[in-house]
Amino acid sequence: MPTSPLQDKLPGTPTPGTPTPGTPAPGAPPGLVVIAAACCLSLTGVLVKLAAVDAGTVAFLRCAIALLALGPLAVRECRRHGMLPRPLLGWAVLAGVFLGLDYAMYTAAILDAGAGVATVLNNVQVIVFPVLARVLSATPIRPRFLLACPIMLAGMALVGGAFAHDPQVTHQLRGTVLGLLSGAAYAGYLHLNRQSGRHSPRHLVTPVCAATGSAALVIGLLAPATTGIDLTLPGSAWLWITLLALIGQVAPFLLLASAIPRTAPNTAATLLLLQPVLAVVFGMLIVAEAPAPSQLLGCLVVVLAVWFANHSPRSAPVGQSG
């Protein structure tokens, strides 16, 4: 794979085609790991609904509580493999800034344009992430992916109920812009996390921990502009938010950190679109939600489009890095 000039200057950069000393042995197929991460992330909506807490508080606490689990793991990792190189640590902090902006703008987009529209626009990452990898690290994009993109986005619009009228929408244009920017910020996080994992594959937890910390800081600073942060919560809410931090933050982002460096960006981006589809399924099974027929149709469209984008009889196996 072609490398950018910046890659050659970073410490710990593996030489193409040469095994890196201390690199963890390949585990489960990376495509399956990304799907597992999407499963974890898809439970976020259910856990937020059970917690019955505003989105700004949830966004901040899911990161803050996650640090309690990630911190000791990061210390242990650094003792075993040494400190994360300073440039990569800077990338991790910047990735967290993007993640914090994603959470904050997504919350604001929900308030302005409605949850369905915000969810659809947030998934613009399916286009931005591969484009970033193509421009910044010369990673090729599969033609089948380009063909499937409009279908995937149309399916996402159905899943999110974007075509339904929401009388509570107050600032459609502003919400649309914030939704698009939130998706672009999420793509920025994914790209930086992928680069960090490719340069220092032994450091899995440390970049995620640093990114989560900076994300919590950004959310805390921006919270007054959205829903604010309320720490006077009942015990049941703290329980659900703690589960959210572990299942919806720690687990999926560690899974993504392990899989994305070994996965082509267009493959990872499309597989992550399974998250809202699985969210509909879990909503039906756990909290008895009743999705509209159009949402179920959208789920089918997204699944078929994801399959089309990643399947080709003569292509490399799903999950191979581009």
Q: Is a pLDDT exceeding 90 seen at residue 161?
A: no
pTM attached to this predicted model: 0.82
Q: 259 is written with which tokens?
A: 């899989």
| pLDDT value for 168 | 56
Q: Is-contact 255 37, C-beta < 8 A?
A: yes
Cα 272 from Cα 4, distance rounded (Å):
26
Position 249 scores a pLDDT of: 94
Cβ atoms within 10 Å of 111's Cβ, excluding its own: 21
Quote the mean pLDDT of the chain. 83
Q: What is the pLDDT of residue 1?
A: 38
Label residue 165 by pLDDT band (50, 70, 90): low
Instruction: Please give the span between the terminal C-alpha atoms of the chain, in angstroms, as a whole number.
Output: 7
15 pLDDT band, cuts 50/70/90, is: very low
Section 235-239 average pLDDT: 94
**What Å distances lie between residue 1 and 131, 236, 313, CA to CA?**
16, 49, 22
Name which of 60, 54, 43 is nearest 213 in CA terms: 60
**Neighbour tally for 178: CB within 10 Å:** 25
C-alpha closest to that of 102 among 206, 322, 1, 253? 253
Name the amino acid, one letter, at 145: F
pLDDT of residue 184: 94
Span 171-205, pLDDT tens digits? 777 888 888 999 999 999 999 999 988 999 999 99
